[in-house]
Amino acid sequence: MTELIQSMQPVCYSIVPKNPAAHLFEVTLTVAEPDPAGQRFLLPVWIPGSYMIREFARNIVTLQAFNAAGRKVAIEKIDKHAWQAAPVDGPIMLRYEVYAWDMSVRAAHLDDTIGFFNGTSVFLAVEGQAGAPCIVDIEPPPGGAYRNWRVATALPEARGTKRYGFGAYEAANYDELADHPVTLGEFALGGFTAHGVKHDIVISGRVVNLDMNRLAADLKRVCEAQIALFEPRTKKAPVDRYVFVTVAVGDGYGGLEHRASTALICNRTDLPVQGRPETTEGYRTYLGLCSHEYFHTWNVKRIKPAAFAPYDLSQENYTTLLWLFEGFTSYYDDLMLVRSGLITVGDYFNLLGKTIGGVLRGTGRLKQSVAQSSFDAWVKYYRADENAPNEIVSYYQKGSLVALAFDLSIRAQTDNRNKSLDDVMRLLWQRYGRDFYHGKPRGILEEDVEALFAEATGADLRWLFRDGVRGTRDLPLDALFEPFGIALAPDLLGNGAALKPSLGARVRGGADCTLAVVHEGSAAQKAGLSAGDVLVAIDGLRVTGSNLDGLLSRYLPGAKVEVHAFRRDELRCTEVKLDAPEVARYVLTAIDGRGLSKQWRERWLKG
């Protein structure tokens, strides 16, 4: 959007969680100098970081406009996300309600236990004044029941507002306002300093015996490792203050990156318990999520594809580079955990083995490159259906393996000069990221990426761009791991369940055995079974979501079994010739024999 009218008068918002039981926020918006020809207002249709059109305007319930005298001004909806007000003398004020019942990190939610909103869901943008400063007055819900509620956000407080208090907050422009989610409610507070910068931890949701001290100590290590990666000399963090905001729920997982904070959802059982020093799988997952979103503080919130500089919040923003922004971030999230000593090398190898298995399982990887997957994220990855594994490749999972391949290849080619993928990230940071919010908002063009990698490392990576980024050939992981003394093998041994023959389908667990995915060319597909079919019996024995593995484990691969299944309400019977066991994951084993491999491996995993 080009700014023709640059108003210096601030755009003023106020937001109040007016009716938690009805999940309604009330927002007022005052524009001191509206367009004399009639002001236009817009709500974003998507939120950066989550590449899907979500039509947030569908949650605007009522909307009215007034002039300075309090008289109604005509305003009409002109398309799915825009409103046009009639010309008015002096300021114009809008008042509207937003329905907020989305317990995710992407939209807005309000009930009597928590309030949460992203600016993209609740704050209409004023056309032509996107560059104007914004003031937001955040008010408490009415009534004494909410007297212990506080406000958590990385938005700077206006004068007179206490940290975590209700009151006025400021943003330099609409883009900044939209990039600072706000959480309201009662929450546990912790924090730490990482290389001189204050980091706050906010945990809302009911968590018994939360070990906040451990969480703070662990996150500090991850954050310091990442700051040192990007700024090894100065150790300068990219922010003045950072806030990790987590909502702990019974069953949930997700995160969204922002320039100075992240909004996360996790299982309350993932969080560390006082007096229990072990690292559970859930906690490892949670730390990985925190590490991922924190890495985005550099990679995608400051180093950006040109298509995101600036974002156009009114439509899809196409880029073929999400493999670089999501895939590389996914590579570094767990790598930073092992480098900072929070997980063991064995843990890290297990995580890599799972990712490799996940990527190699779907035939979609042979049809779509990570560049194409990035471009089509809006209609494919984010709208994945039952055919996704046969049709698309994840720019997260495959993208993280592409990053691994770049890293190992650069290290192997430049052993004498000690180059690595870290040098690529640092050059991206110096050239595009460091000054992004300091007057140089420039994104990287797709055609410049390959040259930048070569400049940063001196390595020949053309084959990897051709085959791994733009192509669909499987990555030569065996050969890439070899100089690092790592052997890769499918996980068939040591686990009896892994030897069971397979239908070649993914099943939703539970009382019914419903096929969620039928893999291309699999036994199930050849026998005419489809996603959505409910299996009821195998060779005359009742099958459920939980006993399928047990039933199949009695057979050998190649055996023929009679399967009864419902499609819609019609019973069908088919013979299935069972497939060989599926490889769900791979095992990485360190095998040191020759001199340098151990040294190379340690240098890679220790940073």
**Exposed/middle/buried for 146, CB within 10 Å: 0-12, 13-18, 19+?**
middle
Q: How far is the CB of 460 from Zn ion (least distance, A)?
A: 29
Backbone torsions φ then ψ of 425, nearest 5 degrees: -60, -40
C-alpha closest to that of 48 among 237, 175, 170: 175
Taking the complex as a whole, how short is the minimal distance between the CB of residue 125 and Zn ion, in angstroms? Answer: 24
- Provide the Cα torsion 417, 421, 427, 432; round to 10°: 180
* Alpha carbons 411 and 481: distance in angstroms, whole number: 11
Please name the residue that has the structure tokens 């009415």.
Answer: 142
User: Considering beta carbons, is residue 258 or 601 the nearer one to Zn ion?
Assistant: 258
Give the nearest distance from C-beta 289 to Zn ion in angstroms: 9
Shortest distance (Å) from residue 360 CB to Zn ion: 22
List the 40-42 sheet strands across, edge first: 75-79, 82-85, 40-42, 125-126
CB of 258 to Zn ion, least distance (A): 12
Nearest to 43 by CA among 118, 109, 111: 118
- Which residue lies nearer to Zn ion by CB, 224 or 293? 293
Radius of gyration of the chain (CA): 26
Per-residue DSSP letters for 241-262? EEEEEEEEESS--EEEE-SSEE
Find the shortest distance in angstroms from Cβ 49 to Zn ion.
7
Residues 548 and 546: their CA atoms lie apart, in Å, by: 6
State both tokens at 81: 């996300």
Q: Give the residue with the Cβ less far from Zn ion, 293 or 407.
A: 293
Minimum gap (Å) between residue 300 Cβ and Zn ion? 7
Closest CA to 379 of 428, 449, 444, 316: 316
Min dist CB 326 to Zn ion, Å, is 5
Q: Considering beta carbons, is residue 96 or 375 the nearer one to Zn ion?
A: 375
The nearer residue to Zn ion, 185 or 288, going by C-beta atoms, is 288
Nearest CB to Zn ion, comparing residues 351 and 507: 351
- Considering only residues 315 through 374, tell me which ones interact with Zn ion, judged by CB under 5 A: 326, 329
When the beta carbons of 329 and 340 are compared against Zn ion, the nearer one is: 329
Please list every residue from 188 through 207 that binds Zn ion, using CB under 5 A.
none
3-state per-residue secondary structure call for 9-25: CCEEEEEEEEEHHHCEE
Number of residues engaging Zn ion in binding (CB under 5 A): 2
Nearer Cβ to Zn ion (291/350): 291
Q: Which residues bind Zn ion (CB under 5 A)?
A: 326, 329
